[in-house]
Amino acid sequence: SAVISQKPSRDICQRGTSLTIQCQVDSQVTMMFWYRQQPGQSLTLIATANQGSEATYESGFVIDKFPISRPNLTFSTLTVSNMSPEDSSIYLCSVSTTGELFFGEGSRLTVL
């Protein structure tokens, strides 16, 4: 299994600002994923982050809006840039290990 810590757990942000979410894993993992869960909806994959390479973004998500860093095998960050109220969501970090996907508790962002 894997224990995943995310910071912040929640935040209230002003329109036009940017916020960086951190994800720390208690073991080295190759693949890390960032998901978004909009209010009342399911999870949507934003991007896959592998250490040593640029993140791979899903359709509808771009690097300028959601830049991702993956400096080592236990850590990643997701930045939500130039936020608007539509970005109010829970953002979840997840890792793949032993054939399973484990999730952090998520970062709940509210954009005013």
* Interacting residues with other proteins (CB under 8 A): 4, 33, 41-45, 48, 92, 94, 96, 99-106
We find the least distance from the C-beta atom of residue 10 to other proteins, in angstroms, to be 11
We find the least distance from the C-beta atom of residue 73 to other proteins, in angstroms, to be 18
Region label for 64, one of left (φ > 0), alpha (ψ between -120 and 50) or beta (otherwise): alpha
| Residue 61 or 103 with smaller CB distance to other proteins | 103
| Residue 74 or 81 with smaller CB distance to other proteins | 74
